[in-house]
């Protein structure tokens, strides 16, 4: 009887969780659509005044652009890399994943990468987004995971001059932070065919916002198997996600995929290519990214992150900074959510579940020295211990920043990290939730990037000269 009630409770939680995630996704989609329709209507009704405004604006901007190009274009760009289920510029209409933070600096790029593709595939996409050309996932990797070797074509790279003399700053949110680390390692390993001069020095700095460096226990809550981290449980939230994604890609509705895309086109799951029998095979789990394990969730398990970290270095000429987030606290030795109103309703239940997570005693722990209590502080998506710096299987050099004054003279090759009170989506999508803190965080990130604009420049801010 007790087992029946426990099973019924789990099933109810699964259905409610699935409904909440679906409604939140529809809310984001409808918000973007409503914003686009509103903008289109405004442009339509104000059409007669457009030509006049353009003429006046061009007179003002042509003179100012001459002075700006000499200074702004010389600065290294800052690339904002989104996380899982995220999107870049050009997707979801005028909606901004980074809540408009890209408008704070004139040299910011926001690439649109696969929202569910693996960390490796996303790193490949990011490289060709910047350099230009057709995305090459590599012959060996493509054959191993059963997808096309080549992907999207970028006729013109967004920063084709990118090299050691023209390095880039990267800011990654969530899974986006690990994507940048993989990209830097691939640059160091000269992994891109036809580019023999790449090196880790192409990356000036990496800033992580709630970055997924060491995996997350939420992956197991959502359905990944702790004992077999590449596969999902038969009945779980991720299975619903899998089915929805396959059908979405199979339908291949052009205008819909242009609006939002999971980035799995190189798996050729369209009805035009696989037909009805291919769809059935894919739904049964025999083919596709979810069968091969070449998607983002296995990389976000603790074991998957360990496997990635085994090959990723912290390089001596790159600056590293990390913002870890948490919305939990300890009361009488028990970790609980830090509040009700400060945590987004979408992830409140996950905060509670992650704070009470216990690794099954029947399953081998993910790594030697693992302790449940180390992984209880979280932000509803990732564990705080995972966000500070790469630490498993080998801990990388790091320094906890207790006060901003410690950031005045950063040294390359060390992960400087701060722990902030907030949930996983505090600094994305909706800037009003974070309030003043939103501006403080992004202003400090971009100011730090501009401070280290060039490796050989002295590490002093202009306003420090008068102190």
Domain-embedded: residue 376: no
pTM of the predicted protein model:
0.90
Domain-embedded: residue 248: no
| Mean pLDDT to the nearest integer, 37-44 | 80
Residue 186: CATH number of its domain: 3.40.50.1820
Q: Please state, in angstroms and as integers, the Cα–Cα distance from residue 456 to each residue in 70, 120, 159, 207, 318, following that order.
A: 20, 31, 21, 19, 12
User: For the segment 259-312, what is each residue's pLDDT rounded down to a tens digit?
Assistant: 999 999 999 999 999 999 999 999 999 999 999 999 999 999 999 999 999 999
Residue of 420, 464, 467, 421 whose CA lies nearest to 445: 420
Rounded to whole angstroms, how far apart are CA atoms 61 and 51?
15
Structural domain count of the chain: 1
Domain-embedded: residue 377: no
Domain-embedded: residue 95: yes
Query: Beta partners for 419?
Result: 324
Domain-embedded: residue 56: no
- Whether the bond between 110 and the residue before it is cis, its omega within 30 degrees of 0, is no
Q: How far apart are the first and last CA of the chain?
A: 72
User: For the segment 411-432, what is each residue's pLDDT rounded down to a tens digit?
Assistant: 999 999 999 999 999 999 988 8
Mean of the per-residue pLDDT values of the chain: 89
Burial 369-384 (b: 16+ CB within 10 A, else e): eeeeeebbbbbbbbbb
Rounded to whole angstroms, how far apart are CA atoms 136 and 153?
10
Domain-embedded: residue 150: yes
User: For the segment 84-126, what is each residue's pLDDT rounded down to a tens digit?
Assistant: 999 999 899 889 999 999 999 989 999 999 999 999 999 999 9
Domain-embedded: residue 112: yes
Domain that holds residue 157: 74-215+298-326+386-452
User: For the segment 134-182, what is each residue's pLDDT rounded down to a tens digit?
Assistant: 999 999 999 999 999 999 999 999 999 999 999 999 999 999 999 999 9
Domain-embedded: residue 154: yes
């Amino acid at each position: 009887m007790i087992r029946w009630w426990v099973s019924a409770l789990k099933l109810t939680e699964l259905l409610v969780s699935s409904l909440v995630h679906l409604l939140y996704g529809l809310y984001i989609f409808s918000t973007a659509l409503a914003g686009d329709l509103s903008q289109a209507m405004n442009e339509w009704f104000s059409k007669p005044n457009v030509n006049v405004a353009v003429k006046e604006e061009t007179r003002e901007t042509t003179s100012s652009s001459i002075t700006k190009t000499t200074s702004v274009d010389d600065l290294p760009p800052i690339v904002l890399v989104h996380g899982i289920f995220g999107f870049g510029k050009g997707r979801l209409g005028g909606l901004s994943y980074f809540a408009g933070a890209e408008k704070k600096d004139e040299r910011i790029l926001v690439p649109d990468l696969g929202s569910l593709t693996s960390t490796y595939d996303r790193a490949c996409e990011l490289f060709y987004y910047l350099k230009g050309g057709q995305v090459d996932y590599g012959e060996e990797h493509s054959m191993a995971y059963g997808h096309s070797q080549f992907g999207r074509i970028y006729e013109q790279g967004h920063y084709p001059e990118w090299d050691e003399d023209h390095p880039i700053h990267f800011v990654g949110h969530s899974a986006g932070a690990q994507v940048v680390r993989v990209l830097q390692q691939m640059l160091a390993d000269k992994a891109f065919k036809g580019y023999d001069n790449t090196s880790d020095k192409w990356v000036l700095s990496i800033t992580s916002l709630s970055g997924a460096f060491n995996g997350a226990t939420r992956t197991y809550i959502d359905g990944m198997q702790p004992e077999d981290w590449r596969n999902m449980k038969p009945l779980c939230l991720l299975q619903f996600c899998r089915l929805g994604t396959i059908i979405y890609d199979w339908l291949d509705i052009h205008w819909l995929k242009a609006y939002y895309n999971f980035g799995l086109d190189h798996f050729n799951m369209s009805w035009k290519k696989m037909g009805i029998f291919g769809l059935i095979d894919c739904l049964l789990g025999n083919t596709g990214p979810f069968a091969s394990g070449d998607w983002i969730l296995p990389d976000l398990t603790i074991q998957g992150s360990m496997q990635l970290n085994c090959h990723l270095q912290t390089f001596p000429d790159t600056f590293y900074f990390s913002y870890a987030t948490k919305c939990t606290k300890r009361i009488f030795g028990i970790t609980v959510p830090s509040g009700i109103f400060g945590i987004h309703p979408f992830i409140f239940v996950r905060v509670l579940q992650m704070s009470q997570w216990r690794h099954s005693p029947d399953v081998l722990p993910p790594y030697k020295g693992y302790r449940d209590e180390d992984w209880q502080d979280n932000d509803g998506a990732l564990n705080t211990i995972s966000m500070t710096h790469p630490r498993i299987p080998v801990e990388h050099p790091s320094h906890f920043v207790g006060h901003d004054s410690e950031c005045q003279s950063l040294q390359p090759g060390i992960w400087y990290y701060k722990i902030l009170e907030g949930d996983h989506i505090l600094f994305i999508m909706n800037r009003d939730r974070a309030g003043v803190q939103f501006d403080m965080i992004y202003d400090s990130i971009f100011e730090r990037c501009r401070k280290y604009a060039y490796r050989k420049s002295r590490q002093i801010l202009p306003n420090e000269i008068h102190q």
